[in-house]
Structure 1
Amino acid sequence: MLRQYELVERVKSYDPDADEDLLNRAYVFSMKAHGSQLRASGDPYFSHPIEVAGILTDLQLDDETIATGILHDTVEDTVATTEQIEKLFGANVARLVDGVTKLSRIEAQTDTERAAENMRKFLVAMSDDIRVLLVKLADRLHNMRTLDFIKNPDKRRRIARETMDIYAPLAERIGMYDFMDELQELSFRQLEPEAYATISKRLEQLRAGGGDVVKRISSGIRMLLGQAGIEAEVVGREKRPYSIWRKMQRRHMAFEQLSDVMAFRVVVGDPAICYRALGVLHRRWPMVPGRFKDFISTPKRNGYRSLHTTVMHNENMRIEIQIRDAAMHAEAELGLAAHWAYKQGDEGAAARESYPWISDLLEILDHAASPEELLEHTRMAMFQDQVFAFTPKGELIQLPAGSTAVDFAYAVHTSLGDSCIGAKINGRTVGLRDTLVNGDQVEILRSKTATPDPAWESFVVTAKARSAVRRHVRNLQREGQLAMGRKLFDEIVARLKRPLDDAAIAEALKRLKLADRNALYIALARQTLTDAALLEAVLPGSTVGLGKAGKRGSKAASARAGQQAAIPITGLTPGVAYRLEECCHPIPGDRIVGLRRPGTGIEVHRIDCSMLEGDDGLEWLDLRWVTDSEVAVAQLIAVVHNKPGALAAVTGILAHHGANIVNVNLRDRDRQFHSFVIDMEVDGLAHLTNIIAALRATQSVVSVERG
């Protein structure tokens, strides 16, 4: 453990103007606050915050951040308060300590909602001052280094999994690769102990069998570059067990099949020399195709710059070589800490400018509908490989691998994604679901009247795009539920046969504990509020004697109901306030009825649907189509002769009648007949009737019935 004077000397060595008194007071305060507390290792608890502060001095951070590292556990684990910290150490240190305290509470969470709320606090605190994240990463790194002292193996694995899922990706996102590598390595040792032990043993055997191969190859690279007049620092190392294991998993290979288990770093004078060095190495050893990446011309989103290449060395092995200058190396080693963003006045703004993914996460945070969605999107945004594409004006857009034109549009701007209708990649019109590759130039085609398509959610890969699509779907659902609930409300109130003024409705809302009329309409549409409960709230005593709590309809009543009195719906947006059930595939023109289930939208069935026989006393709702000329999905079951061209005859008739086939499944087959289930888009009941008649008149078709 660092002594008080040793810690101060470390800080003063790189920052002579550091507030020595602040550091001394923080050291003494933390030591007294933690008192006789012990860690799982048996060491004084005070040793942990001092070691965290020591890690932060390795990053050469300012005195306020070092003081925060010393004090970061005092509010959570002692009787000290945030107000006390502010009084003794200033507002900045108090704010940082409070931020780290909030982040610490993300640990040991098993409940999704609480974990999501802590993730929300994590992101907000991180965006306000990125130093909060630096302290938290140092805290987690020291905890992982001492994790073996925790006796409970389940707790060790939980902490390791959390580190692998959250903290290692965050370290990567801010360019702190040494932190990321060590966090992953320590987590891997806990999560996959057998794999870790096996790979470590193989690496020891490799070292024993080949002598000091790394040193020999490093000297060879340095000598080769020196002969070309390039002065370089060359450092080699074996890849870490976790990196090797991940490659084995990704490529489905055994350890013996891996040929590139060594990596070498070449540090030269300036960027131009990086490319010269690359040319020298490629002239000497052949490059492995597809393994060259230029992160100097196209840096990663976290600012990382370097040239990466893999060559076939003359010892008949692949070696990975990274080439960079001294400034790039410092950034790669320290990441965000190398930029000293906190000394630029507005810490949060500087961090968000350097790391735009933080802003993307904040936008996702603002619109996440559920804890699960928040956790899903933030982890997606933090832990994905990259692909680089360009706008028509040459602006570089970095996206996760597998991204589509829709992901690209949302990465440029949310409004562009919302209005996207098509795309051109390298001047060629393509589908929106086509994936991008490095170097693509993407032009987004847009329309002022366009809106996000709910189907996009099935193929977009960025959290920002998926969040935007889900937000649009939620808005559609809300609008549909409001419209449906308003109609239900009017129909219910009409039974009172007396006018209902605003005062009566306001009183009813109070009794029902609903915020406003919109909340009332949505509750009716989702049947979290029954008709009887509404009637009783509006006019107490009005439901006496109704039976079955004032249930609106029955099957017989619905069958007799006049269509003009039924609630109108359209066929264009199923799944908003209602859904067209797949058991009977109702289409515009069919006689339909609605079933209301508590907490869900209205189920729309054909009046002759067999599922209605077992409705379990659910409330019935009379519905009618607004028009019979809307596109809807219908289902046919066609039995055809087992002979060449029979299915082609069926699809030909469908095409002739303008029906778009959505899906075809072979349900039954034998020597004589095949039975197909065909889902297709039609314009309504009349359109479907014409298609059925045409199919029945075809010699290849034995029978056709609606599904």
Structure 2
Amino acid sequence: MAQAGSDNLSSAGIPAQIDAQAALPPATQEGAVTIAPTRPEKLRGDVNCERLVHVVREYAPGADMDLIRRAFAVAKKAHEGQLRDNGDPYITHPLAVAMILAGFRLDVPSLLTALLHDTIEDTGITQDELRKQFGDTVADLVDGVTKLTRLELQSDRTKQAENFRKLVLAMSKDIRVLLVKLADRLHNMRTLHFVERTDRRQRIARETLDIYAPLAERIGMDRVKTELQNLSFAQLEPEADATIRARLNYLRGQGADVIEEVRRELLRLCHEAGLKNVHVSGREKSPYSIWEKMQRRNVAFEQLSDIMAFRVLVDAREDCYMALGAVHAAYPVIAGRFKDYISTPKANGYQSLHTGVTLRSPRNQKIEVQIRTSAMHDVAENGVAAHWAYKDGTAEDESGPAAFRRPRWVQDLLEILEASSAPDEFLENTKLELYQDQVFCFSPKGQLISLPRGATPVDFAYAVHSQIGDACVGAKINGRLMPLRHELQNGDQVEIMTARGGAPSPSWERFVVTGKARARIRRYVAAQQRQTYLDNGRAALAKAFRQEGVDGSEKVIEPTLKTLKQASLQDLYVAIGNNNLSARDVVSVAYPELRRASRAPRMVPGLPGVLGTAGPRPRSAPGAASGRRSGGAIPLLGLGPGVAVHFAACCHPLPGDRIVGVVATGRGVTVHTRTCQTLESFAATPERFLDVDWDYDAMSRAGVGELRVGRISLVADNEPSVLATVTNTVSKCDASMVNLKIVNRQLDFMEILVDVEVRDLRHLSSVIAGLRAASGIVQADRARS
């Protein structure tokens, strides 16, 4: 089995399958096998670090080998008597982590940190003792990794989020903390199958997939990312992983001759173009990336056209474009598949040319070709680790690696950390920042701004500077005034218009895609909302005391804080203002003699056209219209008879939507679409959620469709005839318009919200399709909460 991440072909001409030992250079691969075999009894004897010393001596002859041996001896003695889940002495784990880092040719402090990274956490050694023996740098690195590990053992989401906050702070000071942590997680994932509890294995795998694999990608360590993803995927989706691997094995046997033929053909084309030193190799997509693409595009395995890809390595940057010209001259190009990451590198420093072409034979097969230099390939595979590697036998000085200690995206995460009020909110926003495909836009002065795909001018404004984002009031895209929710495209020139005293709008949160923008908007909105709650709560409490005719001064209220579990008077006012606490409860605590007997809650009467009763509806009378207006019985499954049902106005669920019910005291059940953002506010009370669905059989028996309201968001030309166009188009689609609101009007465009009565989701989609085809309509989509 060839090493994973390798692009070399096996003797049969087929790319080697990626497996659990797949993401490392040859030295590391060999070392990992030595210290972590599948038969642990071989390691029960004396374990030493001579393999590590040998590997380090090969790339860094001048390194202090005695220091490495001393660190190993300290770690071995500290972990004496401790065992891993597979029965190995615990020292095999830090040794394996050090071997992984040595495979990336990292400096001695990184290796010492790897050997000692669990000593503070699991043994009696202190940070001061490490500082005395190995210096400040190693002691601080070990402490940075230790702080992460302490909280990592907790499964609670808040603890995980707090753990991630600490990771960002630690790696902002020295990125080597992240390198050691990734190597630590990689070895733990390789031995995860020894953990007995399934829930623990899956929790660790999910955390790896959500946090550590994206982090590896952001610092350019593609091989580590790929292996972490594959190992996590095998734990989370074992059946899908086995199926995809079986398919890959089959294709590998079927396409051996084709792959070798294409490889030789690409090599010949490059030689004919005048390129001398060229290396061409074939590779296959990893199981996880195949599965992810199948899920994203909703296609079967057989429909994927780029399972196999080819990589061309040349000597110089100019040679990349010569090779690209040779490939494009020989094969038909697949439209939209060319990407130039050399002139516009990714945020992690990745550079390469990507193109898709169609082979004329056999079977018009589509392939992907990546073209880069050997230096670019090193950065693509090892990322930040390549900058910390020893060069010519000596480590880079502080002026070299220091430039990579705080990449731009790390600075963005720090700003999100500052703006996020809660750990779990920070985790959510940073996930937005980690998972992104890029678009490149320009400021009027030519500054290049990299943003995730789907970004808007508001995201652009916050990427330039937080204060510009806060003061943003409009934007010009390529010289034309456009809505702030407009989706930016590659190459757009964006001019942000600001106003003194401008402030973020709460509606921006609905369409921004970057974590930094969302964190700043939420921070501002939360501050404004808290002030409103505080003022309302103070007024409500004063009114409650006044109605009872008693003193309501702060001197009277302060003794109630402990009983009411409030940290301060301001928190008490906010709790009253947002209805988490009743003003009368505060009065009752302050003056117990005024307590009254509790009264039974009153049921809120049903509202016509809004509330209904779950259950089948009767058949309509002959000659009825094609649909009936809302207000009848609601055909839902999962509810008992007589339950009051309310359709949420924030997302307007329609038959065909995936829905969920939320129980509200005194109001029955409110039905939302499963993608409704309002559901986030109920995350802390999951017991209120009900699994409901449309009763399609009841609809079919009734023979008619109940008309429900769907909401459409439009961007249209600011012309006198556009409203007539909207009305006529909706009517032609057999729907009726019940409400129209112009939410924004500018010189050359307007934004409109339209409520239409439709039978189901398919009917709404046909109305949207008709509007998109109408003259004067720039954009039409279903409005989302």
Q: Distance in 1 between matches of 2:496 and 2:380?
A: 34
Q: Which residue of 2 aligns with 1:56?
A: 101
Q: Distance in 2 between matches of 1:248 and 1:502?
A: 61
Q: Distance in 2 between matches of 1:346 and 1:489?
A: 60
Deviations 1:87-144 (CA, angstroms, capped at 9, x unpaired): 3222221211121122224534331221211121121112121101101111111122
Secondary structure of the 1:54 match is helix
Q: Structure 1 residue 46: deviation in Å?
A: 1.3
In structure 2, do the counterparts of structure 1 residues 349 and 364 end up closer, same or farther at CA, with 3 Å as the change threshold? Answer: farther
Q: Structure 1 residue 68: deviation in Å?
A: 0.7
Correspondences of 1:423-502 after superposition (within 5 Å): 423-488=475-540, 490-491=542-543
In structure 2, do the counterparts of structure 1 residues 372 and 500 end up closer, same or farther at CA, with 3 Å as the change threshold? Answer: closer
In structure 2, do the counterparts of structure 1 residues 652 and 50 end up closer, same or farther at CA, with 3 Å as the change threshold? Answer: closer
In structure 2, do the counterparts of structure 1 residues 46 and 395 end up closer, same or farther at CA, with 3 Å as the change threshold? Answer: same
Contact 2:455–2:488 (Cα < 8 Å) also in 1: yes
Contact 1:108–1:159 (Cα < 8 Å) also in 2: no
Q: Distance in 1 between matches of 2:256 and 2:125?
A: 55
Among 308, 330, 333, the residue aligned to 1:262: 308
User: 219-228 or 491-500, which moves further after superposition?
Assistant: 491-500
In structure 2, do the counterparts of structure 1 residues 209 and 419 end up closer, same or farther at CA, with 3 Å as the change threshold? Answer: same
Q: Distance in 2 between matches of 1:654 and 1:60?
A: 61
Secondary structure of the 1:398 match is strand
Secondary structure of the 2:383 match is helix
Q: Distance in 2 between matches of 1:125 and 1:75?
A: 16
Q: Structure 1 residue 661: deviation in Å?
A: 8.4
Q: Distance in 2 between matches of 1:164 and 1:434?
A: 31
Correspondences of 1:219-258 after superposition (within 5 Å): 219-231=264-276, 232-258=278-304
In structure 2, do the counterparts of structure 1 residues 245 and 514 end up closer, same or farther at CA, with 3 Å as the change threshold? Answer: closer
Contact 2:97–2:184 (Cα < 8 Å) also in 1: yes
Contact 2:172–2:410 (Cα < 8 Å) also in 1: yes
Contact 2:152–2:159 (Cα < 8 Å) also in 1: no
Correspondences of 1:301-340 after superposition (within 5 Å): 301-316=347-362, 317-340=365-388
Task: Say yes or no: does 1:361 pair with 2:410.
Answer: no
Among 538, 541, 544, the residue aligned to 2:593: 544
Deviations 1:675-705 (CA, angstroms, capped at 9, x unpaired): xxxxxxxxxxxxxxxxxxxxxxxxxxxxxxx
Q: Distance in 2 between matches of 1:649 and 1:529?
A: 41
Q: Distance in 1 between matches of 2:54 and 2:60?
A: 10
Contact 2:735–2:756 (Cα < 8 Å) also in 1: no
TM norm structure 2: 0.67
Contact 2:440–2:492 (Cα < 8 Å) also in 1: yes
User: 270-279 or 196-205, which moves further after superposition?
Assistant: 196-205
Q: Distance in 2 between matches of 1:534 and 1:256?
A: 66
Q: Structure 1 residue 310: deviation in Å?
A: 1.3
The AA in structure 2 aligned to 1:398 is S
The AA in structure 1 aligned to 2:472 is C
User: 473-482 or 213-222, which moves further after superposition?
Assistant: 213-222
Contact 1:344–1:350 (Cα < 8 Å) also in 2: no
Q: Distance in 1 between matches of 2:298 and 2:560?
A: 64
In structure 2, do the counterparts of structure 1 residues 159 and 506 end up closer, same or farther at CA, with 3 Å as the change threshold? Answer: closer
Q: Distance in 1 between matches of 2:214 and 2:249?
A: 28
Task: Say yes or no: does 1:293 pair with 2:342.
Answer: no
TM norm structure 1: 0.74
Among 312, 318, 338, the residue aligned to 1:272: 318
Q: Distance in 1 between matches of 2:128 and 2:264?
A: 57
Q: Distance in 2 between matches of 1:415 and 1:22?
A: 49
Q: Distance in 2 between matches of 1:496 and 1:176?
A: 67
Among 74, 77, 80, the residue aligned to 1:32: 77
Q: Structure 1 residue 78: deviation in Å?
A: 2.7
Q: Which residue of 2 aligns with 1:618?
A: none
Q: Structure 1 residue 357: deviation in Å?
A: 1.4
Q: Which residue of 2 aligns with 1:182?
A: 227
Contact 2:738–2:757 (Cα < 8 Å) also in 1: no
The AA in structure 1 aligned to 2:142 is V
Secondary structure of the 1:225 match is helix
In structure 2, do the counterparts of structure 1 residues 151 and 530 end up closer, same or farther at CA, with 3 Å as the change threshold? Answer: closer
The AA in structure 2 aligned to 1:193 is P
Among 454, 466, 471, the residue aligned to 1:419: 471
Among 27, 47, 52, the residue aligned to 2:92: 47
Which ranges of structure 1 fall in alignment gaps of 5 or more residues?
A: 550-580, 585-596, 599-642, 669-707
Give the paired residue count. 578
In structure 2, do the counterparts of structure 1 residues 295 and 520 end up closer, same or farther at CA, with 3 Å as the change threshold? Answer: same
Q: Distance in 2 between matches of 1:347 and 1:227?
A: 39
User: 114-123 or 144-153, which moves further after superposition?
Assistant: 144-153
Contact 1:128–1:348 (Cα < 8 Å) also in 2: no
Q: Structure 1 residue 653: deviation in Å?
A: 13
Q: Which residue of 2 aligns with 1:70?
A: 115
Identity score, percent: 50
Deviations 1:160-208 (CA, angstroms, capped at 9, x unpaired): 2221111110100000101111111222222222222222222222222
Q: Distance in 2 between matches of 1:665 and 1:103?
A: 52
The AA in structure 2 aligned to 1:4 is C
In structure 2, do the counterparts of structure 1 residues 408 and 281 end up closer, same or farther at CA, with 3 Å as the change threshold? Answer: same
Q: Distance in 2 between matches of 1:408 and 1:459?
A: 13
Deviations 1:494-525 (CA, angstroms, capped at 9, x unpaired): 57989988877777778978665534533443
Among 140, 158, 174, the residue aligned to 2:203: 158
The AA in structure 2 aligned to 1:326 is S
Q: Which has the larger radius of gyration?
A: 1
In structure 2, do the counterparts of structure 1 residues 307 and 151 end up closer, same or farther at CA, with 3 Å as the change threshold? Answer: same
Q: Distance in 2 between matches of 1:48 and 1:255?
A: 37
Contact 2:216–2:224 (Cα < 8 Å) also in 1: yes
In structure 2, do the counterparts of structure 1 residues 266 and 651 end up closer, same or farther at CA, with 3 Å as the change threshold? Answer: closer
Q: Which residue of 1 aligns with 2:255?
A: 210
Q: Structure 1 residue 528: deviation in Å?
A: 5.6
Task: Say yes or no: does 1:17 pair with 2:62.
Answer: yes
Contact 2:75–2:115 (Cα < 8 Å) also in 1: yes
Q: Distance in 2 between matches of 1:59 and 1:8?
A: 14
Correspondences of 1:588-607 after superposition (within 5 Å): none
Deviations 1:601-627 (CA, angstroms, capped at 9, x unpaired): xxxxxxxxxxxxxxxxxxxxxxxxxxx
User: 60-69 or 12-21, which moves further after superposition?
Assistant: 12-21
Q: Which residue of 2 aligns with 1:410?
A: 462
Deviations 1:345-399 (CA, angstroms, capped at 9, x unpaired): 489973465x211111122222323343222112111112111111111111111
Secondary structure of the 1:44 match is coil
Q: Distance in 2 between matches of 1:160 and 1:661?
A: 45
Q: Which has the higher contact order (CA 8 A, sep 6+)?
A: 2
Q: Distance in 1 between matches of 2:118 and 2:582?
A: 51
The AA in structure 2 aligned to 1:297 is S
Contact 2:79–2:119 (Cα < 8 Å) also in 1: yes
The AA in structure 2 aligned to 1:271 is R
Correspondences of 1:373-388 after superposition (within 5 Å): 373-388=425-440
Secondary structure of the 1:440 match is coil
In structure 2, do the counterparts of structure 1 residues 41 and 450 end up closer, same or farther at CA, with 3 Å as the change threshold? Answer: same
Q: Which residue of 1 aligns with 2:164?
A: 119
Q: Distance in 2 between matches of 1:246 and 1:487?
A: 53
User: 94-103 or 289-298, which moves further after superposition?
Assistant: 94-103
